[in-house]
Amino acid sequence: MPAVIEATVGPNGSELPTDRGAGVASAQCGEALATFVELCGRGYDAAAARRAAAEAVRAFPGGPRRNWWRWTREAARSLDVPVRVVDARPRDVVALVHDGGAALTFLPHDGDDFRDGRDGVGRDGVGRDGDGDGDGGAWWVAGADGKRTLRLSGTGAEEQSVARMVAAAEASAAADPAETDRGEVRWLVAGRAGADLTQHIDAHGHASPYATLRALFAPESGDIRAIAVFALFVALLNLATPIAVESLVGTVAFGRLLQPVVVLATVLFGFLAFQAALRLLQVWVAELIQRRTFVRVAGDLARRLPRVTADGMAGHSPPELVNRFFDVVTVQKVAAGLLLEGLNLVLGAVIGLGILAFYHPYLLGFDLVLLAAMTVVTYLLGRGAVKTAIYESKQKYRTAAWLEELAANPTAFRHGDGVAFAVDRADGLAADYLKARRNHFRVLVRQVAFALGLQAVAATALLSLGGWLVINQRLTLGQLVAAELIVTLVLSSFSKLGKHLEAWYDLVAAGDKLGVLFALPTERTDGALTGIDRRDDWANPGAGTSEIAEPILRLENATVRGGTRFDLALAPGESVGLLAPPGAGKTALAEALFGRRAPLGGRIELDGLAPGDYRPDALRRRVALAGASPGGGAEVFAGTVAENVHLGRPDVTAADVRAVLKRVGLAERVDALPGGVDATLGFGGAPLGEIHARRLTLARALAGRPRLLVIDSLLDGCAAETAAELLAAAVRPIGGRAHATLVLTRRAEIAAVCDRALRPDGAPLDPAA
Lowest mean pLDDT among 138-142, 249-253, 335-339, 603-607: 249-253
> pLDDT, tens digit, for every residue of 285-295?
999 999 999 99
pLDDT in tens, 68-108: 888 999 898 888 888 888 888 888 888 777 777 788 888 86
Measured CA to CA, the distance from residue 543 to residue 269 in angstroms comes to 79
Average pLDDT over residues 735-762: 89
Question: Is residue 59 within 8 Å of residue 23, measured between CB atoms?
Answer: no
Q: Percentage of the chain surpassing pLDDT 90?
A: 28
Domain ranges of the chain: 3-190, 209-518, 541-758
Helix (H) or strand (E) holding 437: helix 418-471
> 627 exposed, middle or buried (CB, 10 Å; 0-12, 13-18, 19+)?
buried
Q: Which pLDDT belongs to residue 158?
A: 65
Nearest CA to 236 out of 205, 201, 271 is that of 271
As assigned by CATH, the class of the 541-758 domain is alpha beta
Other CB atoms within 10 Å distance of the CB of residue 123: 13
Residue 609 DSSP class: B
Q: What sign has the CA pseudo-torsion 711, 716, 717, 723?
A: positive
Residues composing the chain: 769
Instruction: Give CA angle at 475 (473, 479), nearest 5°.
Output: 145
Checking if the pLDDT of 63 tops 70, the result is yes
Dihedral, 197, 203, 208, 214 alpha carbons, nearest 10? -30
* H, E, C per residue of 97-118: HHCCCEEEEEEECCCCCCCCCC
Measured between alpha carbons, how far is 224 from 236 in angstroms, rounded to an integer? 18
Residue 117 confidence (pLDDT) above 60: no
Task: Kindly report the three-state secondary structure assignment for every residue of 457-517.
Answer: HHHHHHHHHHHHHHHCCCCCHHHHHHHHHHHHHHHHHHHCHHHHHHHHHHHHHHHHHHHHH
Predicted confidence (pLDDT) per residue in 131-148, tens digit:
444 446 778 888 765 444
- How far is residue 72's CA from residue 166's CA, in Å, rounded to a whole number? 20
- pLDDT the model gives residue 136: 64
Which of 37-41, 122-126, 160-164, 391-395 has the highest average model confidence (pLDDT)?
391-395
Q: What is the DSSP string of 189-200?
A: EEPPP---TTTT
Please check whether the domain covering 209-518 is classified as CATH 1.20.1560.10.
yes
pLDDT of residue 391: 94
Q: Coil, strand, or helix at residue 72? A: helix
Residue type, position 161, single letter: S
Half-sphere exposure of 304 toward its Cβ, with a 13 Å CA cutoff? 22
- Return the number of other C-beta atoms located less than 10 Å from residue 257's C-beta: 10
Per-residue confidence at 197, pLDDT binned at 50, 70, 90? Answer: low
Torsion, Cα 687 693 697 699, to 10 degrees, reads -80
- Statement: residue 9 has pLDDT above 70: no
Average pLDDT over residues 564-580: 90
Q: What percent of the chain has pLDDT over 70?
A: 83
Q: What is the dihedral of CA 432, 433, 434, 438, to 10 degrees?
A: 100
**pLDDT exceeds 70 at position 44:** no
Q: How far apart are CA 221 and CA 713, in angstroms?
A: 51
In the 8-state DSSP scheme, what is residue 220? G
* Distance of alpha carbon 647 from alpha carbon 652, whole angstroms: 9
21, pLDDT greater than 80 = no
Q: Residue 342 — φ and ψ, nearest 5°?
A: -60, -45
Tell whether the torsion through CA atoms of 407, 413, 414 and 420 is positive or negative.
Answer: negative
Work out whether strand 575-579 and strand 740-745 pair parallel, antiparallel, or are unpaired: parallel
The better pLDDT of the pair 599, 11 is held by: 599
Is 540 or 167 the better-scoring residue by pLDDT? 167
Task: Look at residue 125 and tell me whether its pLDDT is greater than 70.
Answer: no
Bridge partners of 556?
A: 603
Identify the DSSP state of 710.
Answer: E
User: How much is the mean pLDDT over the chain?
Assistant: 80
